[in-house]
């Protein structure tokens, strides 16, 4: 049955639409389990009904016609209980409902299992037997396993089929793709798909202008791969036996085959560019090999994939990936990276859509800093079909509309105007102090990483920079920047804000911020080699950066240094030792430099409970709420499967932050919050009640937070905090705080929350 399971899942994943996927399921399950009927019912959430969507064994005319109320009948019972139901005679069960349309009268044995994805019941998978019998335990577990694994494939097939329908028809649609999380805002624009090099699966469809030239480039790429294969064969002839060398000849024959060559050329003639046509041909060949009974032949699928990647590499060297962007670009990808986002001119970028990631991922943070809406974690995103399509990005409800109707387009254009009007109204706060109604001053700093952030940060009246992310200049290059290149970059930031303080965080790579020229391969990167750990293991990189930062501060003296991902005092001692060494070396070289204040980011749970010991070594603390939330809740913030569990207002997160503030103040050390919490008006109200010394956020959120600070007294915020301690769920806490903003006349800020 394991082989049947594998084959069925592969076939369903290849299905072009939902009806075909469901047809495959019922046919394969009926055959594998040797039953009389297999059916799939799906939930229609709008009508609150369960609908027969596919069957092999019942009356096929009943498909789409048989509808049960939610919870009705045995199928409804399975969906409501979210557990399997195994009966030797269905009609004996009190919940049984006879349905004449499907012709079920002769059947007795019943086994139904729920199809569930992300806690939501999608439907029910049912098998029936004519005779009275209870299905065996092995049969039940097989069907249960199949349903669990098919949930994602069914969801994806439904989305893909809907997208295919949209792209084949000229009419507009209300269809929306749902993301796991988002950054606030609305955008209307045109999709531009970005993808990593030599990744066939990520290649989008694109129209071809010159078919003959495209075919010639494809033939040249194939010829280049053949030369490579012959060269490899010649190099290995003295090292491998004859039968193994013959494998290279087999690959060359495969490369020259009419199926591979002819199939791709046919795709190009049909109007797709060579990489897209190649992707389709390779996928067909891989599917064919994976369906073979012989294990040896099945393994040849990996050879086909390798040939496809090699051809693509040559195609991309002949025909490099274009980096041209048009106005109103919406960046779309399987996993949009910070470097890909940084390649788009800010004045042309209006939105970001990514199949992976969350609102707390690095690319989402940068998007928010630029004031650009983003929707992350769309499991069913058909990336390859979206290039050049008009999209609406709804960052408020984590939705993306494909080919939106005129009504939807107009509604989101209206939202954009309202956002712009609110921003214009808030400009009046720019020159006013960030001070509560009872006179408590709360400096608001900007988070930056791109030089293009400087002007917006200055315009919104930031009191300085609370977090300068030095990894971004590293991410947008194809090599490590030199000390002088770094110095010039840091100098621009320090000069722009002088004499206001600028907190520069040392290199924080790893996790979801990988340098293409410094790969880190780990099974669990967020718990691995990142932040200060890499810096201490590579002192040559750290010392070069620290020297550049210290030199950039010459004559300005507004620098503060911040160390990321610190989990213990030993790391502080080692890092401070290197900083002192760099400072002394520069003094010996004749530089006149002031030794800066040094702070530590509190983002690892172990650091929360070492504040007094750390305070003896550093001058200030900065709470990185994004990672602290991630680690306290054991939630990978880039994993769409658990994105709903990531909540910075979780009571445990709030208590940890409050503990840090109290402990730091007890030893006369200041505390800033520089994570996304700081820019959330709702969360900022709580932080104000906790007594935080300053907040640092993206320029896009600064005036909204200032409006909150100036609308409350600190004592009001403290009373709210006392109420919050009585609550046990993050959702309840957010509801209370949203109501407080509404009551204070700040209802327009509620959308700026999560």
pLDDT tens-digit map of 139-151: 998 898 888 877 8
- The average confidence (pLDDT) of the chain is 86
Q: CB-based burial of residue 420 (10 Å sphere; 0-12 exposed, 13-18 middle, 19+ buried)?
A: exposed
Start-end of CATH 3.50.30.10 domains in the chain: 176-195+324-421
The winner for highest mean pLDDT among 258-267, 409-418, 573-582 is 573-582
Report the C-alpha gap between 365 and 183 in whole angstroms. 8
pLDDT at 307: 84
Written as six digits, the tokens of 502 are 């600028």
pLDDT at 285: 84
Rounded alpha-carbon distances, angstroms, from residue 495 to 168, 274, 451:
54, 49, 12
Judged by phi (left if over 0) then psi (alpha if -120 to 50, else beta), residue 691 lies in left
Q: Is the pLDDT of residue 423 over 60?
A: yes
* Helical segments of 373-449, H only: 406-426
pLDDT tens-digit map of 627-662: 999 999 998 876 767 777 889 999 999 999 999 999
Question: How is domain 2-167 classified at the CATH fold level?
Answer: Beta-Lactamase (3.30.450)
Choose among 308, 112, 111, 301: nearest CA to 203. 308
pLDDT at 278: 92
Start-end of CATH 3.20.20.60 domains in the chain: 443-752
pLDDT at 460: 86
Residues ≥6 apart with Cβ < 8 Å to 325: 192, 344, 345, 348, 349
pLDDT at 158: 59
Given a contact cutoff of 8 angstroms between Cβ atoms, the answer to whether 586 and 547 are in contact is yes
Given a contact cutoff of 8 angstroms between Cβ atoms, the answer to whether 180 and 319 are in contact is no
Q: Could you tell me what percent of the chain has a pLDDT over 70? A: 90
Lowest mean pLDDT among 244-248, 255-259, 430-434, 535-539: 244-248
Start-end of CATH 1.10.274.10 domains in the chain: 200-318
Q: Could you tell me what percent of the chain has a pLDDT over 90? A: 46
pLDDT tens-digit map of 575-593: 999 999 999 999 999 999 9
CATH code for the domain defined by 443-752:
3.20.20.60
513 forms beta bridges with 510
pLDDT at 752: 43
Q: Is the pLDDT of residue 172 over 70?
A: no
Comparison of pLDDT for 745 and 153, the residue scoring more: 745
Greatest Cα pair distance, the chain, in angstroms, is 96
Comparison of pLDDT for 286 and 556, the residue scoring more: 556
Report the C-alpha gap between 414 and 187 in whole angstroms. 10
Report the C-alpha gap between 367 and 342 in whole angstroms. 10
Give the containing element (helix H, strand E) for 124: strand 120-129
Label residue 104 by pLDDT band (50, 70, 90). Answer: confident
* Residues classed as catalytic: 362, 674
Q: Sort strands 559-563 and 597-602 into parallel, antiparallel or unpaired.
A: parallel
| DSSP type of residue 677 | G
pLDDT tens-digit map of 377-394: 887 787 877 888 899 999
Given a contact cutoff of 8 angstroms between Cβ atoms, the answer to whether 97 and 68 are in contact is yes
Comparison of pLDDT for 196 and 571, the residue scoring more: 571
CATH 3.50.30.10 fits 176-195+324-421, yes or no: yes
117 forms beta bridges with 120
Lowest mean pLDDT among 364-368, 553-557, 592-596: 364-368
Report the C-alpha gap between 416 and 136 in whole angstroms. 58
Report the C-alpha gap between 202 and 279 in whole angstroms. 9
- Mean of the pLDDT values across residues 477-493? 89
pLDDT tens-digit map of 545-577: 999 999 999 999 999 999 999 999 999 999 999
Label residue 228 by pLDDT band (50, 70, 90). Answer: confident
Q: Is the pLDDT of residue 619 over 50?
A: yes
* Helical segments of 177-273, H only: 211-236, 242-256, 258-269
CATH code for the domain defined by 200-318:
1.10.274.10
Lowest mean pLDDT among 18-22, 238-242, 288-292, 473-477: 238-242
Residues ≥6 apart with Cβ < 8 Å to 60: none
Residues ≥6 apart with Cβ < 8 Å to 223: none
Report the C-alpha gap between 30 and 38 in whole angstroms. 5
Q: Is the pLDDT of residue 25 over 80?
A: yes
Task: Mark 330-347 as b/e (b = at least 16 C-beta within 10 Å).
Answer: bbbbbbbbbbbbbebeee
Given a contact cutoff of 8 angstroms between Cβ atoms, the answer to whether 588 and 609 are in contact is no
Q: Is the pLDDT of residue 110 over 70?
A: yes
Written as six digits, the tokens of 639 are 């994993």
Lowest mean pLDDT among 261-270, 321-330, 457-466: 321-330
pTM for this one? 0.67
pLDDT tens-digit map of 49-69: 898 989 999 988 888 888 888
Comparison of pLDDT for 103 and 372, the residue scoring more: 372
Choose among 397, 400, 337: nearest CA to 364. 337
Report the C-alpha gap between 678 and 710 in whole angstroms. 15
Q: What's the chain's Rg over C-alpha atoms? A: 30
Q: CB-based burial of residue 296 (10 Å sphere; 0-12 exposed, 13-18 middle, 19+ buried)?
A: exposed
pLDDT at 753: 40
Q: Is the pLDDT of residue 319 over 70?
A: no
- Mean of the pLDDT values across residues 443-452? 85
Lowest mean pLDDT among 33-42, 95-104, 326-335, 461-470: 95-104
Label residue 367 by pLDDT band (50, 70, 90). Answer: confident
Give the containing element (helix H, strand E) for 704: helix 699-711
pLDDT at 693: 97
Give the containing element (helix H, strand E) for 631: helix 625-633
Q: Sort strands 186-193 and 329-333 into parallel, antiparallel or unpaired.
A: parallel
Q: What is the DSSP string of 50-117?
A: EEEEEEESS-GGGTTT-EEETT-HHHHHHHHHTS-EEES-GGGSTT----GGGT-TT--EEEEEEEEE
- Mean of the pLDDT values across residues 230-242? 67
Start-end of CATH 3.30.450.40 domains in the chain: 2-167
């Amino acid at each position: 049955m394991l082989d049947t399971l594998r084959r069925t899942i592969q076939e369903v994943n290849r299905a072009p639409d939902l009806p075909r996927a469901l047809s495959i399921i019922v046919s394969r399950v009926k055959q594998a389990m040797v039953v009389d009927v297999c059916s799939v019912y799906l939930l229609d959430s709008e009508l609150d009904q369960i609908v027969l969507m596919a069957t092999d064994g019942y009356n096929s005319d009943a498909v789409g016609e048989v509808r049960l109320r939610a919870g009705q009948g045995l199928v409804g019972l399975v969906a409501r209980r979210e557990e399997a139901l195994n009966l030797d005679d269905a009609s004996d069960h009190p919940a049984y409902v006879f349905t004449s349309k499907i012709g079920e009268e002769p059947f007795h044995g019943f086994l139904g299992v729920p199809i569930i994805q992300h806690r939501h019941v999608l439907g029910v998978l049912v098998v029936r037997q004519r005779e009275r019998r209870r299905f065996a335990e092995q049969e039940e577990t097989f069907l249960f396993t199949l349903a669990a694994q098919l949930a994602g494939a069914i969801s994806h097939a439904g989305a893909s089929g809907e997208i295919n329908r949209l792209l084949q028809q000229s009419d507009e649609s209300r269809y929306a793709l749902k993301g796991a999380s988002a950054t606030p805002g609305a955008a209307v624009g045109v999709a531009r798909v970005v993808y990593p090099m030599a990744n066939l699966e990520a290649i989008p469809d694109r129209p071809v202008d010159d078919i003959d030239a495209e075919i010639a480039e494809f033939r040249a790429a194939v010829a280049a791969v053949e030369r490579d294969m012959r060269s490899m064969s010649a190099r290995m002839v003295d090292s491998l036996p004859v039968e193994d060398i013959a494998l290279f000849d087999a690959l060359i024959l495969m490369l020259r085959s009419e199926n591979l060559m002819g199939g791709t050329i046919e795709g190009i003639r049909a109007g797709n560019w060579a990489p897209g046509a190649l992707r389709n041909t390779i996928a067909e060949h891989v599917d064919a090999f994976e369906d073979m009974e012989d294990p040896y032949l099945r393994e040849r699928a990996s050879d086909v994939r390798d040939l496809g990647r090699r051809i693509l590499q040559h195609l991309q060297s002949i025909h490099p990936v274009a980096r041209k962007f048009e106005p109103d670009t919406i960046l779309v990808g399987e996993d949009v990276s910070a470097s890909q986002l940084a390649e788009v001119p800010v004045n042309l970028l209006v939105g970001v859509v990514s199949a992976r990631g969350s609102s707390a991922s690095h690319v989402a943070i940068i998007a928010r800093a630029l004031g650009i809406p983003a929707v992350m974690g769309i499991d069913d995103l058909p990336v390859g079909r979206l290039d050049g399509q008009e999209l609406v990005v709804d960052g408020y409800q984590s939705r993306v509309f494909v080919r939106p109707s005129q009504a939807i387009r107009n509604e989101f254009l209206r939202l954009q105007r309202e956002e712009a009007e609110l921003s214009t109204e808030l400009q009046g706060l720019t020159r006013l102090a960030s001070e509560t109604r009872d006179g408590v001053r709360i400096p608001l700093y900007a988070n930056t990483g791109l030089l293009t952030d400087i002007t917006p940060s200055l315009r919104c009246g930031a009191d300085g920079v609370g977090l300068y992310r030095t990894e971004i200049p590293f991410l947008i290059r194809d090599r490590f920047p030199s000390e002088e290149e770094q110095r010039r970059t840091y100098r621009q930031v320090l000069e722009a804000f002088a004499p206001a303080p600028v907190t520069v965080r040392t290199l924080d790579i790893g996790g979801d911020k990988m340098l293409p020229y410094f790969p880190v391969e780990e099974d669990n990167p967020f718990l691995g080699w990142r932040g200060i750990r890499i810096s201490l293991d590579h002192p040559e990189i750290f010392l070069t950066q620290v020297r550049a930062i210290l030199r950039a501060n010459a004559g300005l003296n507004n620098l503060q240094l911040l160390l990321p991902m610190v989990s213990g005092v030993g790391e502080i001692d080692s890092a401070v030792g290197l900083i002192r060494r760099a400072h002394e070396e520069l003094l010996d070289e004749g530089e006149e430099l002031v030794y800066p204040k040094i702070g530590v980011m509190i983002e690892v749970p172990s650091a929360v409970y070492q504040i007094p010991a750390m305070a003896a070594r550093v001058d200030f603390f900065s709470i990185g709420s994004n990672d602290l939330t991630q680690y306290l809740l054991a939630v990978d913030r880039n994993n769409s499967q658990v994105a709903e569990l990531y909540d910075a207002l979780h009571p445990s997160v709030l208590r940890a932050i409050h503990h840090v503030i109290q402990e730091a103040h007890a030893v006369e050390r200041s505390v800033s919050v520089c994570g996304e919490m700081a820019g959330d008006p709702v969360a900022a109200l709580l932080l104000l009640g906790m007594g935080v010394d300053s907040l640092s956020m993206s320029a896009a959120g600064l005036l909204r937070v200032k409006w909150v600070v100036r609308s409350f007294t600190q004592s009001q915020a403290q009373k709210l905090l006392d109420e919050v301690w009585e609550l046990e769920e993050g959702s309840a806490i957010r509801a209370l705080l949203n109501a407080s903003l509404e009551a204070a006349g700040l209802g327009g800020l509620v959308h700026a929350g999560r």
